[in-house]
Homo-oligomer: A and B are copies of this chain.
Amino acid sequence: MYEVEIKVPADLETVRDRLRELDADPGETRRQRDVYYDAPHREFAETDEALRIRRETTIDGGDTHRDASTDGEAVRLTYKGPLLDGDSKTRTEHETDVADGDELAGVLDGLGFDPAATVEKRREYWRFEEFTVALDAVEGVGEFVEIEREVDAEDAIDPTREAAIGTLARLGLDAADQVRTSYLGLLLADG
Protein backbone atom coordinates (compact mmCIF):
# COMPACT_ATOMS: atom_id res chain seq x y z
CA MET A 1 0.00 0.00 0.00
CA TYR A 2 1.31 3.42 -0.98
CA GLU A 3 -0.03 6.78 0.05
CA VAL A 4 -0.13 9.55 -2.53
CA GLU A 5 -0.39 12.81 -0.66
CA ILE A 6 0.08 16.49 -1.51
CA LYS A 7 -0.12 19.25 1.10
CA VAL A 8 -0.41 22.92 0.16
CA PRO A 9 -1.04 26.11 2.15
CA ALA A 10 -4.61 27.32 1.59
CA ASP A 11 -7.31 29.65 2.80
CA LEU A 12 -9.73 27.10 4.22
CA GLU A 13 -12.86 29.22 3.91
CA THR A 14 -12.25 29.68 0.18
CA VAL A 15 -11.58 25.96 -0.34
CA ARG A 16 -14.64 25.00 1.70
CA ASP A 17 -16.85 27.26 -0.45
CA ARG A 18 -15.38 25.70 -3.58
CA LEU A 19 -15.97 22.14 -2.27
CA ARG A 20 -19.62 23.04 -1.60
CA GLU A 21 -20.02 24.53 -5.09
CA LEU A 22 -18.59 21.33 -6.56
CA ASP A 23 -21.00 19.25 -4.47
CA ALA A 24 -18.22 17.39 -2.63
CA ASP A 25 -19.20 15.16 0.32
CA PRO A 26 -18.43 16.62 3.74
CA GLY A 27 -17.15 14.11 6.32
CA GLU A 28 -16.26 14.38 9.96
CA THR A 29 -14.45 17.25 11.60
CA ARG A 30 -11.97 16.24 14.27
CA ARG A 31 -9.74 17.93 16.77
CA GLN A 32 -6.35 16.22 16.90
CA ARG A 33 -3.80 16.84 19.62
CA ASP A 34 -0.45 15.20 18.86
CA VAL A 35 2.23 15.01 21.53
CA TYR A 36 5.67 14.11 20.20
CA TYR A 37 8.18 12.58 22.60
CA ASP A 38 11.92 12.81 23.07
CA ALA A 39 13.68 9.54 23.90
CA PRO A 40 16.09 9.10 26.81
CA HIS A 41 18.57 7.06 24.76
CA ARG A 42 18.42 8.46 21.23
CA GLU A 43 18.22 11.82 19.50
CA PHE A 44 15.08 11.31 17.39
CA ALA A 45 15.90 14.40 15.29
CA GLU A 46 19.13 12.66 14.23
CA THR A 47 17.77 9.12 13.89
CA ASP A 48 14.72 10.43 11.98
CA GLU A 49 12.31 8.55 14.24
CA ALA A 50 9.17 9.81 15.95
CA LEU A 51 7.03 8.68 18.86
CA ARG A 52 3.62 10.25 19.17
CA ILE A 53 0.43 10.06 21.21
CA ARG A 54 -2.56 11.38 19.26
CA ARG A 55 -5.77 12.27 21.07
CA GLU A 56 -8.66 12.82 18.73
CA THR A 57 -12.25 13.90 19.23
CA THR A 58 -14.92 14.13 16.59
CA ILE A 59 -16.52 17.56 16.87
CA ASP A 60 -18.85 17.28 13.88
CA GLY A 61 -20.14 14.09 12.27
CA GLY A 62 -20.63 15.65 8.81
CA ASP A 63 -22.87 13.62 6.53
CA THR A 64 -21.91 10.30 8.08
CA HIS A 65 -24.43 8.20 9.96
CA ARG A 66 -22.36 8.07 13.14
CA ASP A 67 -23.55 10.17 16.01
CA ALA A 68 -20.55 12.33 16.75
CA SER A 69 -21.85 13.26 20.20
CA THR A 70 -21.42 9.68 21.41
CA ASP A 71 -17.76 9.57 20.40
CA GLY A 72 -15.32 9.89 23.25
CA GLU A 73 -11.65 10.70 22.89
CA ALA A 74 -9.74 8.27 20.71
CA VAL A 75 -6.10 7.75 21.61
CA ARG A 76 -3.47 6.32 19.30
CA LEU A 77 0.20 5.49 19.81
CA THR A 78 2.42 5.78 16.74
CA TYR A 79 6.09 4.99 16.17
CA LYS A 80 7.74 6.05 12.93
CA GLY A 81 11.09 4.50 12.17
CA PRO A 82 13.86 6.01 10.04
CA LEU A 83 13.58 5.95 6.23
CA LEU A 84 14.57 2.47 5.07
CA ASP A 85 16.64 3.75 2.16
CA GLY A 86 17.45 7.07 0.58
CA ASP A 87 15.53 6.53 -2.64
CA SER A 88 12.12 5.57 -1.38
CA LYS A 89 10.13 7.36 1.28
CA THR A 90 9.37 4.02 2.94
CA ARG A 91 9.65 3.87 6.71
CA THR A 92 8.58 1.41 9.37
CA GLU A 93 5.45 2.55 11.11
CA HIS A 94 3.69 0.90 14.03
CA GLU A 95 0.42 2.19 15.35
CA THR A 96 -2.29 1.03 17.72
CA ASP A 97 -5.32 2.49 19.42
CA VAL A 98 -5.02 2.70 23.18
CA ALA A 99 -7.80 2.83 25.78
CA ASP A 100 -6.32 5.33 28.23
CA GLY A 101 -4.12 8.21 27.05
CA ASP A 102 -3.17 9.37 30.55
CA GLU A 103 -1.97 5.90 31.53
CA LEU A 104 -0.03 5.61 28.27
CA ALA A 105 1.60 8.99 28.94
CA GLY A 106 2.43 7.65 32.43
CA VAL A 107 4.14 4.59 30.92
CA LEU A 108 6.27 6.79 28.61
CA ASP A 109 7.08 9.18 31.47
CA GLY A 110 8.11 6.27 33.70
CA LEU A 111 10.43 4.98 30.97
CA GLY A 112 12.09 8.40 30.67
CA PHE A 113 10.44 9.69 27.48
CA ASP A 114 9.60 13.41 27.61
CA PRO A 115 6.86 15.32 25.78
CA ALA A 116 8.81 17.56 23.40
CA ALA A 117 6.26 19.29 21.19
CA THR A 118 2.50 19.40 20.72
CA VAL A 119 0.77 19.87 17.38
CA GLU A 120 -2.93 20.76 17.63
CA LYS A 121 -5.21 21.02 14.67
CA ARG A 122 -8.80 21.06 13.56
CA ARG A 123 -9.13 18.67 10.63
CA GLU A 124 -12.18 18.71 8.40
CA TYR A 125 -12.59 15.78 6.01
CA TRP A 126 -14.16 16.00 2.58
CA ARG A 127 -14.54 13.40 -0.15
CA PHE A 128 -14.01 14.69 -3.69
CA GLU A 129 -13.17 12.93 -6.98
CA GLU A 130 -11.99 9.72 -5.25
CA PHE A 131 -9.65 11.68 -3.00
CA THR A 132 -9.78 12.40 0.69
CA VAL A 133 -9.38 16.13 1.13
CA ALA A 134 -8.44 17.32 4.63
CA LEU A 135 -8.79 20.98 5.59
CA ASP A 136 -6.29 21.49 8.41
CA ALA A 137 -6.15 24.51 10.70
CA VAL A 138 -2.91 23.94 12.62
CA GLU A 139 -2.39 26.05 15.74
CA GLY A 140 0.67 28.25 15.51
CA VAL A 141 1.42 27.04 11.98
CA GLY A 142 -1.40 27.96 9.59
CA GLU A 143 -4.03 26.56 7.25
CA PHE A 144 -3.36 23.74 4.81
CA VAL A 145 -5.16 21.37 2.50
CA GLU A 146 -3.97 17.77 2.25
CA ILE A 147 -5.23 15.67 -0.61
CA GLU A 148 -4.60 11.94 -0.49
CA ARG A 149 -5.44 8.52 -1.80
CA GLU A 150 -3.99 5.09 -1.12
CA VAL A 151 -2.91 2.96 -4.06
CA ASP A 152 -2.04 -0.73 -4.15
CA ALA A 153 0.59 -0.83 -6.86
CA GLU A 154 3.75 1.19 -7.29
CA ASP A 155 2.94 1.97 -10.95
CA ALA A 156 -0.30 3.63 -9.81
CA ILE A 157 1.62 6.29 -7.88
CA ASP A 158 2.45 8.61 -10.81
CA PRO A 159 -1.00 8.61 -12.47
CA THR A 160 -2.64 9.11 -9.06
CA ARG A 161 -0.33 12.02 -8.35
CA GLU A 162 -1.29 13.55 -11.71
CA ALA A 163 -4.97 13.10 -10.82
CA ALA A 164 -4.36 14.72 -7.41
CA ILE A 165 -2.75 17.73 -9.12
CA GLY A 166 -5.83 18.08 -11.34
CA THR A 167 -8.23 17.78 -8.41
CA LEU A 168 -6.25 20.40 -6.47
CA ALA A 169 -6.46 22.73 -9.48
CA ARG A 170 -10.26 22.36 -9.54
CA LEU A 171 -10.22 23.46 -5.89
CA GLY A 172 -8.23 26.56 -6.89
CA LEU A 173 -4.98 25.20 -5.45
CA ASP A 174 -1.58 24.80 -7.07
CA ALA A 175 0.41 21.60 -6.40
CA ALA A 176 3.57 23.65 -7.09
CA ASP A 177 3.02 25.18 -3.63
CA GLN A 178 3.51 21.73 -2.07
CA VAL A 179 4.94 21.75 1.46
CA ARG A 180 6.91 18.59 2.28
CA THR A 181 7.75 19.49 5.86
CA SER A 182 5.55 17.90 8.56
CA TYR A 183 3.43 20.11 10.81
CA LEU A 184 5.83 19.24 13.64
CA GLY A 185 8.75 20.38 11.49
CA LEU A 186 6.92 23.60 10.57
CA LEU A 187 6.05 24.25 14.22
CA LEU A 188 9.64 23.70 15.39
CA ALA A 189 11.09 25.77 12.52
CA ASP A 190 8.75 28.60 13.49
CA GLY A 191 9.42 28.41 17.23
Q: Please, what's the 1-or-0 string for A106-145, where 1 marks a CB less than 8 Å from any CB in chain B? A: 1101111000000000000000000000000000000000
Cross-chain contact A96 with B92 (CB below 8 angstroms): no
> Secondary structure at chain A's binding surface: helix, strand, loop or mixed?
mixed
A95 at the interface (CB under 8 A from B): yes
CA distance A77 to B75 in the complex (A): 14
Using Cβ atoms and an 8 Å threshold, which residues of chain B touch A95? 100, 103, 107
A53 to chain B, nearest CB (A): 11
- Nearest to A78 among chain B residues (CB) is B107
Chain B residues, CB < 8 A from A40: 41
CB < 8 Å neighbour of A94 from B41, B42, B78, B107: B107
A103 contacts across to B, CB distance below 8 A: 94-96
Are B79 and A110 in touch, CB under 8 angstroms? Answer: yes
Q: Which of A22-43 contact B (CB under 8 A)?
A: 39-42
Supplied contacts A77-B107, A96-B103, 11 more A-B pairs, CB within 8 Å: A49-B110, A78-B107, A79-B106, A79-B107, A79-B110, A92-B106, A94-B106, A94-B107, A94-B110, A96-B98, A96-B99
Nearest 3 A-B pairs (CB), nearest first? A94-B106, A41-B41, A97-B99
